[in-house]
């Protein structure tokens, strides 16, 4: 099962989002400085952490970007293939929905079957 990784420079926002996600899903939610995309179903990033990525961006479909409505930043996200871009003014509940959608798209958030469950 993948994790949800929060790579946000605002620690208070990361903690609040982690708490909301913990109530919304059983997928582990981790606050990280550098995301490990191979282990994540979704990675929430702000503009600062997103700008540290090198092109081409691998696993761009797993990124949920929270950024200001700057045409240059939005173009950069579009060119990188990011599917979920949210404004810094969007409520955290909207971010939760985008994160859950990214997990569903990636297919890595599925629970591993236990004995007796149908695969």
Residue 27 maps to which CATH number?
A: 3.40.50.2300
* Any domain includes 118: no
pLDDT tens for 22-64 read 999 999 999 999 999 999 999 999 999 998 998 888 899 999 9
pLDDT tens for 3-22 read 999 999 999 999 999 999 99
CA distance 61 to 116: 33
Tell me the pTM.
0.86
Is the preceding omega at residue 56 within 30 degrees of 0, hence cis? Answer: yes
CA distance 119 to 77: 36
Domain count, the chain: 1
First-residue to last-residue Cα distance in the chain: 14
Per-residue confidence band for 1, with pLDDT thresholds at 50, 70 and 90? low
| 12: Cα separation from own chain's centroid | 17
Q: What is the pLDDT of residue 39?
A: 93
* Any domain includes 97: yes
Domain that holds residue 62: 3-106
* Any domain includes 74: yes
* Any domain includes 37: yes
* Any domain includes 7: yes
User: Which helix (H) or strand (E) element contains residue 59?
Assistant: none
* Any domain includes 34: yes
Residue 31's nearest CA partner among 6, 49, 13 is 6
* Any domain includes 113: no
| Residue 106 CB neighbours (<10 A) | 18
* Any domain includes 42: yes
CA distance 66 to 77: 10
Q: What is the pLDDT of residue 114?
A: 47
């Amino acid at each position: 099962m993948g994790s949800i990784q929060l790579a946000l420079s605002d620690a208070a926002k990361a903690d609040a989002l982690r708490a909301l996600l913990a109530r919304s899903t059983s997928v582990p939610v981790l606050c990280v400085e550098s995301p490990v995309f191979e282990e994540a179903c979704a990675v929430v990033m702000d503009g600062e952490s997103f700008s540290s990525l090198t092109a081409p961006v691998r696993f761009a479909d797993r990124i949920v970007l929270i950024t200001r409505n700057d045409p240059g930043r939005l173009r950069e996200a579009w060119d990188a293939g990011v599917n979920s871009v949210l404004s810094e003014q969007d409520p955290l509940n909207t971010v939760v929905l985008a994160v859950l959608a990214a997990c569903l798209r990636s297919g890595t958030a599925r629970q591993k079957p236990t004995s007796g469950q149908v695969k």
